[in-house]
Amino acid sequence: MPERSKVNTLPEDVRRDLETKLVESGFTGYADLTAWLQGQGYEISKSSLHRYGSNFEERLRKMQLSTRMAHDLVNTYPDDEGKMNEAMMRLLQDRIFTLLLNLEAEADDIDPKAIASLTKAVSQLSRADVYFKTQMREIRSRIKEVAQETDKIARNAGLSKEQASMIRAQILGITGDG
């Protein structure tokens, strides 16, 4: 099993400063960054720093790509039914499951903080999923009630059964129950 990166052992504030410097430098100038870390009291080789920087740059690139794709998708296909949110939750569940499997495969090197973070993420995701589904059920139920009320009002106002049904169908079209 490969040795844990020394950069990952840096205090969080130092690592965040390093990541900021990596981005600002365009992921170049590793000799200067190594010297900066040495000035902070941390001995990390230039090659170790470069490996970390390459991985960090790749993660950042993937995150930017995902953000851009999600933005484009939302703008191209508006989400009235919460399908995007549901898909995102499924994607996160899959990602967390994969992380858990990877942690299990590396049982010798499991960081208890990582397990606690993943457990918290799963819990929050599950709560969000339940809340979202409850809200969607309530919204659909209310739309059906409004459609029924509108149908009665339309019929009482003298519209034909067919005209009232068309209005009701338009309202229910929002939920896909038309």
Contact 39, 144 (CB under 8 A): no
Answer yes or no: is 129 within a domain: no
How high is the pLDDT of residue 1? 46
How high is the pLDDT of residue 45? 93
Element (H, E) at 103: helix 83-105
Contact 103, 114 (CB under 8 A): yes
Q: How many CA atoms lie within 13 A of 137 on its CB side?
A: 6
Q: What is the mean pLDDT of residues 30-35?
A: 95
pLDDT higher at 84 or 165? 165
Tell me which residue has tokens 């170790």: 48
Answer yes or no: is 103 within a domain: no
Answer yes or no: is 45 within a domain: yes
Q: Is the pTM of this model over 0.75?
A: no
CA distance 178 to 175: 7
Domain that holds residue 19: 1-77
Contact 87, 76 (CB under 8 A): no
- The total of structural domains in the chain comes to 1
Q: What is the mean pLDDT of residues 119-130?
A: 80
Answer yes or no: is 4 within a domain: yes
